[in-house]
Amino acid sequence: MIGYELNECGKRPWGQWKVDEIGDGFIKKTITVNPGASLSLQSHEHRSEKWEIIDGIAEVTLNTLVKTYAVGDTVEIPQKAIHRLKNVGVGILMVKETQFGDILDENDIVRYDDEYGRCGEQQVPRRSNVVFMADMDGTLTPARLPMTEKFAKIFEKFIEDHVFYIVSGSDLQKIEEQVPESVRNKVAGIYCSMGNELHIHGNLVYKNDFTPESSLIKKLEEYRKNTVYPHELYPNYIEKRCGMINFTVLGRDCPQNARILYKFWDDEHKERLAVAEELSALYPQYDVSVGGNISVDIVPRGFGKDQVADHLRKEYKTETIIFLGDRTEKGGNDYALAQRLLELGNAQIIAVNGPDDVLKFFEKVS
């Protein structure tokens, strides 16, 4: 299906485009971009593109790569790749664009960032005015364990009919270990490492990071050395992730039975809570919270899960946002996100105790 007409033109805040040729499974456009202007950061569900620089200097963002191109250069834009075109020269930028695909239509666009405020205008079609979002560990999956086959089957059916995001303190590698690819491909997006990375359809949209103070690392080493936990400790107890530190006295390389044993001990002795409270007092520039069953999450202020609320509300201005999490109580690593959603308004928080509670919620919604 081709939704363009020959010689059709489109005026845009950044410049304009004109259709030069229409063929079997392709169209060709001339795009002109004003000096200093840029197209939105975007992707296309149904088409790939090829850009040829005819005049001017272009800066092209392609997923995480940003590169400058001059006259005569060409750029291949794969289907679903996140990309942006910007004029970094002093004159008009002219680009010949060829689109390839079975569906070629101006509405085939998902915007992730746009300096002209158009992110809400053209998006993947939504079936309702509700956006769902959920924590992973202890919510969609058992803590640090893969999603069950039963849950995945029901979850896939649910997200086929609803806009759904996953938000987790884990990095993408751990999410890939716990969430089946079939599910990851169907959700609207995955916020990793407390929201410091956003991945959509396998593409990295943005990334925040920082370098922790050496004194903070030294303090974490002291907690590990001085713990009164009476059982075996394991390696990988300070894990630097994108935009955060995950710390556990026990060590992340522990077996599942040791994880359960530590949780029961910590429920009684409140070691993690004491660590979080002391670190919050010593390092007020960080948000510190108890996360999962064995760890403490440490993030610079502004790098916590609550940033996801602002990012989503900017994208979904009028929709109701429903968040499901198992640590929404004060001190839990879902608390800041839940509170920020409520502050922004038109949001609901669903506190759960595990995947079974989530399935019961799905039954009510469906």
**Rounded CA gap, 244 and 63, in Å?**
22
Instruction: Note whether residue 150 is domain-resident.
Output: yes
Co-location of 218 and 288 in the same domain:
yes
Instruction: Note whether residue 325 is domain-resident.
Output: yes
Q: Are 253 and 235 in contact (CB under 8 A)?
A: yes
Predicted pLDDT of residue 366: 67
- pTM for the predicted model, two decimal places: 0.58
Per-residue pLDDT of the chain (366 residues; tens, 9 = 90+): 788 889 888 888 899 999 999 999 999 999 999 999 999 898 888 899 999 999 999 999 998 789 999 999 999 999 988 899 999 999 999 999 999 998 898 878 888 887 877 665 444 434 458 999 999 999 999 988 999 999 999 999 999 889 999 999 899 999 999 999 999 999 999 999 989 999 988 888 888 898 999 999 999 999 999 999 999 999 999 999 999 999 999 999 999 999 999 999 999 999 999 999 999 999 999 999 998 889 999 999 989 899 999 999 988 888 999 999 998 988 888 999 999 999 999 999 999 999 999 999 998 886
Residue environment code for 97-132, b if the CB has 16+ CB neighbours within 10 A, otherwise e: bbbbbeebeeebbbbbbbeeeebeeeeeeeeeebbb
Q: Are 294 and 250 in contact (CB under 8 A)?
A: yes
Instruction: Note whether residue 181 is domain-resident.
Output: yes
Residue in 40, 117, 124, 42 with CA at minimum distance from that of residue 86: 40
Predicted pLDDT of residue 119: 64
Domain holding 184, by residue range, is: 130-208+303-365
Spell out the residues 6+ positions from residue 39 whose beta carbon is closer than 8 angstroms to its own: 12, 14, 33, 84, 85, 86
Co-location of 142 and 156 in the same domain:
yes
Co-location of 45 and 100 in the same domain:
yes
Strand partners, 42: 83, 111
The CATH code of the domain that includes 266 is 3.30.1240.20
Instruction: Note whether residue 40 is domain-resident.
Output: yes
